[in-house]
Chains A and B, each alone.
Chain A
Amino acid sequence: MITPQDIKNLENHQRAWSRRTFLGKSAQAIGTLALGSIINPNLLGQQQPWRGVLDGPHFYPKAKRVVHLCMAGGPSHVDLFDPKPMLNRLHGQPFPESFTKGEQLAQLQGAELLARGAAVDFRRCGISGQMISNLLPHTQSIADDICVVRSMHTEQINHDPAHAFMNAGSINKGRPSMGSWLLYGLGSEAENLPGYVVLVSEGGGGAQPISARQWSAGFLPSKFQGVQFQSRGAPVHYVGNPDGVCQSTQRQIIDEVARLNNLQKEHSLDPEIETRVSQYELAFKMQTSVPELADLSEEPQSMLDLYGVKEAGDGSFAANCLLARRLLERGSRFVQLYHRGWDHHSKLDQNIQVASTLVDQASAALVKDLKQRGMLEDTLVIWGGEFGRTPMGQGTGRDHHINAFSVWMAGGGIRPGMTWGSTDDLGYRYLNDGQQVHVHDLHATMLACFGIDHKKLTYRYQGRDFRLTDVHGHVVNGIMT
């Protein structure tokens, strides 16, 4: 197992290595004996499956797994989680220039800025009394289980880089996504299933494109990348046998491949062959376990009803939430669900209703279901978009907004039933009151829930120690249990 101290030792070894080898000295140096065990294939075997680069946690870990409900497009905070009576009163009036002067705008560039009040009313919910929009009646019902963060802010005002930033903490391509960092740090407990799974739901229209880069391992080894499950067809690419090959003949193929690979190993002594053989075994197991996972028929009707699944395997957000729970149960480390219907530049009143209806019940059901199974306490749930929407109107809708947006989190070390952070009277900007939460802070906090010091989970690439939070990030202790 690996500790940060080991990493340091390793680096020392690397330096020593270049010295030793190229000075041509001390092949018999004491250290080399120890080094020899490095590529002992038997030890390699022990690294299978990958259990993470971190030996022990830096802090007491609360979360073991995370499900990120990514509301792609950018849900409007002032319509969902951040009621602004002042904004309602100002509806239709010019938006005060003192707020917007010199600030970045997206499609509202050069337009007259008018305040736009909330589409619907809010209600005080649960014992905690959190204010949640009537667009989200089911979320209202879990108010005491969730922590609403109103002081989120980001740096990227267009979807593509904002997604990159939310997922990888950087807009530079080739950076690992947060799920990849977690797998790299902690490995996965899933047997025969990917540790990092992404599902994209259909429905609602207005779908912004998303990119596989959002679950890419970037410069980390590609085994840490997210595996996208398809809504239709084979859930994982190439997981189904070819036409005309049944599971038993496929098994025979794998056995014969293993036999020949092992014969080859006697000749080439290549330690990598052992890994290859084990990957075929794992692949074969996945061919069984993935369809079993995706098969919702063993779920009772009451469970389908809880989530609002109309038809199993219909690719809906509801079906994906249920699938997410099954993945989490089986030990996946990071499950990310995209719902792509939140980019409400126009017809906000109708469209936000549609999007809310598609995700509200299942999001709440996931929290309830995890709770009733006793999994919520070590499962971190994160719900939110890549940015928010302007309190200014854009015709009948709202534009992208980076100075304030809301997310909610639950379980896995997050304090339930609380609201964290605030925005100004018009919902334009987070208040600089010590409760502001930058995307880097969200990442730092997420890692902290897993017991990881975000400054210490690093990977050396191009000569630099990279981390999810770049050179930023503060853990938001106030929302942690």
Chain B
Amino acid sequence: MTCLRRAELIFCLGLIVSASAEPIPEQIEFNRDVRPILSNTCFKCHGPDTEANQSKLRLDLRDLAIKPHVNKAGRTITGIVPGKPAESEVWMRLTSSDPVKIMPPPDALHQVTEQDREVIKRWIEQGAEYQPHWAYIKPKKVAPPAVEPTGFARNAIDQFIVRELEEQGITPHPEADRATLLRRVSLDLVGLPPTTDELDLFLADDRPDAYEHAVDRLLSSPHFGERMAVPWLDLVRFSDSVGFHGDQNQNIFPYRDYVIGAFNQNKPYDDFVREQLAGDLLPDATPEQIVATGFNRLNLMTREGGAQPKEYLAKSAADRVRAVSTTFMGSTVGCAECHDHKYDPFTTRDFYSLAAYFADVKQWGVYNDYKYTPNPELKGFNNSFPFPPEMDVENDYLKRRAIRLQQAQDERVERIVENILARPSERRRVIDWARDNADVLFESNGSWSVMEVVQATGDDLTVVTTQSDNFVRMENIPKADQKGNDKSGTLLVLAPASGTISAVRLEALPDLQGSGTVARDTFGSFAVSPQIELRRKGATESQKIELAGGYPDRDSWTYINAYLITSVESRWQTAPQFAREKHNVVYQLAAPIEIEAGDQLVVTLKTTNLARTRLYSSPLGVRRNWDDVVSGLSSAVATAVSSAGAILTDAQLRLLAAEYFKSTGATDATAYATALETLREIAACREGMAFTMITEAMEPLETRVLPRGNWQDESGEMVQPAPPSFIAKGLPVSAGRSSRLDLAEWIVSPENPLTARTQVNRMWNQFFGTGLSAVIDDLGLQGEYPSHPELLDWLAVEFVELDWDVKAMVRLIVSSATYRQQSTYREDLRNIDPDNRLLASHPSRRLGAEFVRDNALFAAGLLDPEIGGPSAKPYQPEGYYASLNFPKRQYQADLDERQYRRGVYTHWQRTFPHPMMANFDAPSREECTADRTVSNTPQQALTLLNDPTFVEAARALAERAMTEPSQTDFESRIEHAYRLVLARSPTQAEATGLKEFYFTQHANYSDEMEDAAKLAAVGLRPTNAVLDRVELAAWTQVARVLLNLNETLMRY
């Protein structure tokens, strides 16, 4: 028995139990006692789905159940005769001995027990009163019950909980010890364990409300949003890839940042709902509100060849109905795609009416312009393109990253300048450089000089002519006139001015060929890949010049798997929306060159549609914008030239030294390569902008009921947007066609019985491991009658009354004495409350996948605390994406601090979720998921034992244990390690055994020094060089033990 999902636990084990003889309540209550029986055993055929009903008997509605009717045999029968079981067909059928007549039929999956029959009998005797399903009536707030003044109860939650316990004669557990409590609430609210400082402060805080202070601190942490986002991202099926077929990437991470931000800002839940469903329809919608509408775009998408747009639009519509109904209503409307719901009163018409709200969401069934499924708006698209519509939005993470990178760059240059200034010979070189390049440096256009065209040759497809001012024009040779099959491109021999070249600029100009576009056709997008060689004067051979960057002056159409490529030296494709504008790209040379008179550059432009171009060179390097002018440079150069450097101010000298480095590398090739790489990374931050998929409203497509869900059947009736007809009937309906905003308003109306209940029930599930109604994705008839119905309702009303204040609800829950109890398993309640639904102790819970990762990295001191930004790529087994195609995938793990980002930022590939995440039960996010299973498998053990992430974390944790305590004895170190990982000290028994273990490991690695070195080398993070390798290896082993402990994975 390895799986812990509560329902399954019961499921597997219930089996040993024989039917329990439960006393039948004196007063039968329909919702509590009868509905579960009828729903499970009768409604499938005698319920809302009339198509499945072979008789005329319906039992889901009282009016119909008590109405006499003529059955198939021509006999007049009445399903239920209130007060008279013996005259009720239901009772006769339930008790019949005739295998043809007995109900449920003997081969039905679900049968009734003797007890069920008695309940039904008594219910009929008592008048067979029905009640509306609890979840479909508006929640009412009853005053929290009075309880014995034991001092246990802290808030209303506790009063409801304690009342039930009192009735059972159960005493709740005492409060957990402080360290346990702080670790629990920290992991629950921010998904991270407490730091040792936080722990010490809390333990020393003798204020009576120290815990409340700690909760407030955690609620205001920016990591709160990250923790709260995880279950939400499961619901909305947030993912970095589209899911179908090629499972290409999609641009959507700003939506994830929106969710995190919303929880951090404590955005009221009703606004949160409105913005995601209809942010674009709000008056004066802000970019943030539009980013939120990415929610409507998280359905799976395809660009598979041969896919039918209508079919995929139908799939998306159904996908959305399932997601919207589960997420906001805790309902399974998805079941009504093909037939009326079998248990709940959702009709097929409801399903399609709900889908119709989203008929205005601009989208494509197939995201490509195939000849058999033309999408003219997607002309030119291929498997590398994004999935429009998108918006370009500011992203705080990228802004901060760009600033950090720029600061690092500036500091690097500053260090180099200091080095130069410290050495007279270097200073001399700076002056020489300024003098040698003075002419071009004086140019006010960004210091570029046109390279003279010596020779221009086309390939077999292209005719090339040189025009005045060194323009080169390329034209297609008509197919009939093509002589050969050489497609090598256009070859240009250029004569640059002498001096330093660190950058080459390609300018593309509009041309008549494409009626004024930069390409040879009217569409106006060209692609070019350059190759540059240097041919020294008189030489026959030329040498290749490596490029280390290519920066266009506007957004291009250069994509790799949906991501815009900002450095385009290998291939640059321009965007047709700028077809009529001049384009420039700055190519950065990996190693600058010095040109002497007579040297030539041989440039090959591989292109089939670039029309007219001119090339320039410049000594100014490490630059992206071709027209940037370095302020003060001209005068500094002038001074350098006129005085041979003698009267340069310090500032001028520094400026020249900096530009000299950026131009030549200043003999430090490594620093120069780093500078160019940093430049590339800064460019990738796109000045803090990011594309994200959004909802763009268009003229709504028509929506029909699809008979049996068949998208090819157009015989179904047309439907207009409308909410499920039976819920919240009194709600106003807007005139004209209802919009997504109307749907959002309907959802968040206080009259809606489902919205608040669904959300508070999920929050309860988050903090107690089980919802008050355990089936958190189905509050319908087949769901569970809540364990504490009045508490659930109280919380739901409270939520609305507090203006949907999420943090307030979280605070309320985690401040309750119920939450604060010890989690020690209650042997005494094993028989009475095996699932701990009465909550006479805190239910211990395993960490979710993301937090298993975060916890280890945080304890190790490796975790990158940054918030938001593009998804990150942690280590992943090689070849894991081998089965992906269109395009083929090469997984490149992040090599900088992004390697250590939190789990919530892990790149989410729907068809191949990261194995660590999958092993710890993260869903693939192809489908709305409200609850994760919690399993306990050998794969989890293998992950924690052998995944390089956890091995590296163990080593980093070992380093902390070895270096941070003031004492170096084993006891001080293990004490520190325990506090980092488990927020407590080790017991004597734990420490003693670990000490023995440590010495065994030390002995092992003393004999195997090479192994010690290998273990220390796992992961990116450099090892602390001063530490003894054997000692470090032994401590790494100790740390591995700690990171593999059950307690480490748990919230106790």
- Partner-B contacts on A (CB < 8 A): 1-4, 6-27, 29-40, 43-48, 50, 53, 104-111, 157-161, 171-174, 200, 202, 207-213, 216, 219, 221-223, 225, 227, 230-234, 236-246, 248-250, 252-254, 256-257, 259-261, 263-264, 267-273, 275-280, 282-284, 286-287, 338, 340, 345, 399-400, 455-456, 458, 460, 462-465
Contact = CB atoms under 8 A, between A and B. Distances in A.
Nearest to A107: B306
Contact of A111 (B372, B789, B838): B372
B825 A240 contact: no
B735 to A, nearest CB: 35
A68 B2 CA distance: 27
A221 B8 contact: yes
Given A108-B306, A110-B372, A223-B3, 5 more contacts: A221-B8, A240-B946, A279-B937, A286-B942, A462-B777
A439 B957 CA distance: 53
A21 B2 contact: no
A109 B372 contact: yes
18 contacts: A6-B17, A13-B20, A21-B838, A22-B164, A29-B20, A34-B17, A47-B12, A50-B1, A109-B373, A173-B300, A173-B926, A213-B924, A246-B1008, A253-B1044, A256-B993, A275-B4, A277-B1046, A283-B941
Contacts of B300: 173
A269 B825 contact: yes
B825 A271 contact: yes
A212 B911 contact: yes
A274 to B, nearest CB: 9
B834 interface: yes
B994 interface: yes
B667 interface: no
A325 to B, nearest CB: 22
A222 B33 contact: no
A338 to B, nearest CB: 8
A208 B332 CA distance: 33
Nearest to B20: A31
Nearest to B244: A160
A457 B123 CA distance: 32
B937 A223 contact: yes
Interface in B30-54: 32-33, 36-37, 40
Interface residues of B, number: 158
Nearest to B1036: A244
A205 to B, nearest CB: 11
A458 B997 contact: no
The winner among A219, A240, A277, A283 for most chain B CB atoms within 10 A is A283
Contacts of B782: 462-464
Given A158-B306, A209-B885, A244-B1016, A11 B40 contact: yes
Contacts, number: 424
B838 A238 contact: no
Contact of B945 (A10, A12, A38, A283): A283
B246 interface: yes
Interface of B, secondary structure class, is: loop
A50 B844 contact: no
Given A33-B831, A242-B946, A9 B15 contact: yes
Given A209-B246, A249-B1001, A18 B9 contact: no
B337 to A, nearest CB: 9
A213 B824 contact: no
A105 B1045 CA distance: 55
B10 A48 contact: no
A223 B946 contact: no
Contact of B929 (A174, A232, A259): A174
The winner among A6, A46, A245 for most chain B CB atoms within 10 A is A245
Contacts of B915: 237-238
A21 B911 contact: no
Contacts of A202: 882
Contacts of B305: 106-107, 345
A6 B16 contact: yes
The winner among A12, A105, A174 for most chain B CB atoms within 10 A is A12
Contacts of A462: 326, 332, 775, 777-778, 782
B16 A19 contact: no
Contact of B16 (A38, A208, A458): A38
B583 interface: no
Contact of A9 (B18, B306, B1040): B18
A18 B32 contact: yes
Interface string B997-1035: 100110010001011111111100000000000000100
Given A108-B372, A160-B244, A12 B116 contact: yes
B878 A233 contact: yes
Nearest to A273: B1046
A71 B71 CA distance: 52
Nearest to A40: B830
The winner among B18, B786, B941, B946 for most chain A CB atoms within 10 A is B941
A90 to B, nearest CB: 23
B217 to A, nearest CB: 27
B61 interface: no
Given A34-B18, A276-B1046, A230 B1011 contact: no
B554 interface: no
A44 B93 CA distance: 39
The winner among B8, B17, B712, B1000 for most chain A CB atoms within 10 A is B17
B1044 A39 contact: no
Contacts of B938: 279-280, 282-283, 286
Nearest to A286: B938
Given A238-B943, A463-B783, A22 B32 contact: yes
Contacts of B1000: 252
Contacts of B343: 463-464
A30 B835 CA distance: 18
